[in-house]
Amino acid sequence: MSIDWDRYFERKNKPDAWSGGVTMVPVATPLGSFSVWTKRTGSNRDVAVLLLHGGPGATHEYFEACDSFLPAAGIEYHYYDQLGSGNSEVPDEPSLWTIDRFVEEVEQVRVALGLGPERFFLFGQSWGGVLAIEYALRYQHRLKGMVVSNMMSSIPAYNAYAESVIMPAMDQVVLAEIKALEGAGDTDNPRYEELLIEHHYVYHVLRRPLAEWPEPVVRGFAHINKSIYVPMQGPSELGASGALLHWDRTADLSRITVPTLVIGAAHDTMDPAFMERMSTLFPRGRYLHCPEGSHLAMYDDQETYFAGLIDFLNDPDASLTT
């Protein structure tokens, strides 16, 4: 049965049901209705950004860097914890953790928050970029523009980059120990995280010593729901091996005709050259490169990252007319 989500949420959420701040949005799923958490900052009739966090199973918390930049630029933005994450309901229902269901969740959230194509930008970082691409392929008529941050359009290509570039540059004794822990299914061992932090995270996830990681990032890492993350992404932090293993939408990017910004970083876990090429496959794509950044370039190359993001949100077609 096809559900008219616009009419459903028109009944569920009256125009005065929220006036900014936190809103719990009911989401219909094949297993019943659950609530997801959102929080609005600002009000802008031309630009409203829905932020899709990474993971899967992470939270909105590391996006709190936006608070230092977007309000001053007058950008309206919406934090959102996906179902099973953070402040949202956390059902113990493994069948819910699929791309298709998450796409429909995003559409329900969009309707509930009143975000229309005259101002709706979808921003996805890491796994959120996968979700943004999938949403656009189904619902791009709802969008004014899209941002894909630190995410390649192909998991096989991401894994190939990890194998050919990231792992060969590591201490090979350390890499062997990491691989041994993964092979033994012992990734919950504190030693596994210790090795990754010292030999991978501080080079490719956030380029600072762990003691200098911003509190929202540390808090967000502590709140990752592994019951979602592991089945979809896989237990390894050096590539993907879960349900996303064969995901590849590169050949479909030409179908997404809304203005799209791809953000890559020189030290990312994702191949910046691939992401730059990716941007050329979108008919109205552009690329922002963060030369000092890694996977969380919004922290370790902040000025470049947010200046480019704000420029795009204010004038998404600028680069197409110069």
Active site amino acids? 126, 268, 295
List Cβ neighbours of 13 (8 Å cut-off, separation of 6 or more): 25, 112
List Cβ neighbours of 158 (8 Å cut-off, separation of 6 or more): 152, 239, 240, 269, 270, 271
Element (H, E) at 299: helix 297-300
Q: Determine contact, residues 58/102, Cβ cutoff 8 Å.
A: no
Residue 20 CB burial class (10 angstroms; 0-12, 13-18, ≥19) = exposed
Cα 306 to Cα 233: distance, rounded to the nearest angstrom: 27
Q: Strand 76-81 and strand 32-41: pairing? A: antiparallel
Cα 116 to Cα 124: distance, rounded to the nearest angstrom: 18
Cα 128 to Cα 121: distance, rounded to the nearest angstrom: 13
The token duo for 296 is: 């969380």
The token duo for 74 is: 């007058």
